[in-house]
């Protein structure tokens, strides 16, 4: 059962510990920075070999574990490192992901497999490892998966990305259904274009300006806007929210 916990006005996360995959940059790092402001202990998991140094910029107690989230041994090592450093893990944010852009008729099998392996398979397997830990240790944990507006609508040249993120949304619902009895909540967020470093590189210019005109908010999202929603979903204020896909798209998908 997911217990009722009276929500605090500031959506407190005091003393909780979060694992964030893809945590060395982009939305993952923005989420880490936001959660640290909420007094959360942070474990960053990332391919970047300097991820521990990135974690230390958030404060001396936070840690980073370099490695490939596609590896089973690595995924377990991240959980073990978090438990060793902080005593327990309460939150998992699956932020690691890639985008392969190509016409459907030209997309290579290699890029299809790589997109699915990182965006979908690794997200599930990391959630599975975290869920097993929570069930064994009787932790009422919270998982937030990074999906995308591309998981609910079709985008040109995004066939692998759309398929992978649609799968993440479906996976989120099934995990929420199965794990609610253990007190584990599972949600996902689906942003529009987010102005990370990669977002700027991909969308600064005429194509991006044209895209903005199709969004009712008339702009793209900033990383901290995604991080704030993730923090809310991890908090006790969201105790009755599970299996939900929260679109953060400025209204783009309402059309």
pLDDT for the residue 53: 98
Is residue 149 a part of any domain in this protein? yes
Q: Which of 74, 161, 182, 252 is catalytic?
A: 161
From residue 13, alpha-carbon distances to 34, 40, 112, 114, 214 in Å are: 11, 6, 37, 34, 36
Is residue 242 a part of any domain in this protein? yes
For residue 10, name the pLDDT band (cuts at 50, 70, 90): confident
Is residue 1 a part of any domain in this protein? no
pLDDT for the residue 172: 98
**What value does the mean pLDDT take over residues 13-23?**
97
pLDDT for the residue 85: 98
Domain interval for residue 83: 17-249
Is residue 114 a part of any domain in this protein? yes
Is residue 2 a part of any domain in this protein? no
For residues 202 and 108, the model is more confident at 108
Which is it for the CA torsion 8, 18, 24, 94, positive or negative?
negative
Query: What are the tens digits of pLDDT across the range 46-96?
Result: 999 999 999 999 999 999 999 999 999 999 999 999 999 999 999 999 999
Question: Is residue 4 scored above 90 in pLDDT?
Answer: no
Give the whole-angstrom CA distance, residue 214 versus residue 51: 37
Question: Is residue 8 scored above 80 in pLDDT?
Answer: no
pTM of the model: 0.96
Query: What are the tens digits of pLDDT across the range 135-169?
Result: 999 999 999 999 999 999 999 999 999 999 999 99
Into how many domains does the chain fold?
1
Question: Is residue 41 scored above 90 in pLDDT?
Answer: yes
Domain harbouring 74, CATH code: 3.40.50.720
> Which helix (H) or strand (E) element contains residue 137?
helix 122-137
Is residue 5 a part of any domain in this protein? no
For residue 183, name the pLDDT band (cuts at 50, 70, 90): very high
194, 146 Cβ separation under 8 angstroms: no
Is residue 103 a part of any domain in this protein? yes
Active-site residue flag, 133: no
Is residue 205 a part of any domain in this protein? yes
């Amino acid at each position: 059962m997911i217990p009722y916990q009276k929500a605090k006005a500031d959506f407190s996360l005091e003393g909780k510990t979060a694992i964030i995959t893809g945590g060395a940059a982009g939305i993952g790092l923005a989420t880490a920075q936001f959660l640290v402001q909420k007094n959360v202990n942070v474990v960053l998991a990332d391919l970047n070999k300097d991820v521990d140094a990135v974690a230390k910029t958030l404060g001396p107690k936070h840690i980073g574990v370099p490695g490939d989230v596609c590896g089973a041994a690595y995924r377990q090592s991240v959980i073990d490192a978090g438990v060793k450093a902080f005593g327990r893990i309460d939150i998992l944010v699956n932020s690691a992901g890639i985008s392969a852009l190509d016409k459907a008729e030209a997309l290579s099998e290699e890029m299809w497999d790589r997109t699915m392996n990182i965006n979908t398979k690794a997200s599930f397997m990391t959630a599975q490892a975290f869920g097993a830990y929570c069930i064994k240790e009787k932790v009422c944990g919270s998982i937030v998966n990074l999906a995308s507006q591309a998981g609910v609508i079709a985008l040109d040249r995004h066939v692998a990305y759309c398929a992978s993120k649609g799968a993440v949304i479906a996976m989120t619902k099934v995990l929420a259904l199965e794990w609610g009895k253990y007190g584990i909540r599972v949600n996902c967020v689906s942003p529009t274009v987010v102005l990370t470093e990669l977002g700027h590189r991909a969308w600064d210019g005429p194509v991006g300006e044209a895209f903005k005109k199709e969004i009712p908010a008339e702009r793209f999202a900033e990383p901290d806007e995604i991080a704030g929603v993730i923090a809310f979903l991890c908090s006790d204020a969201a105790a009755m929210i599970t299996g939900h896909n929260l679109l953060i798209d400025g209204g783009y998908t309402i059309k």
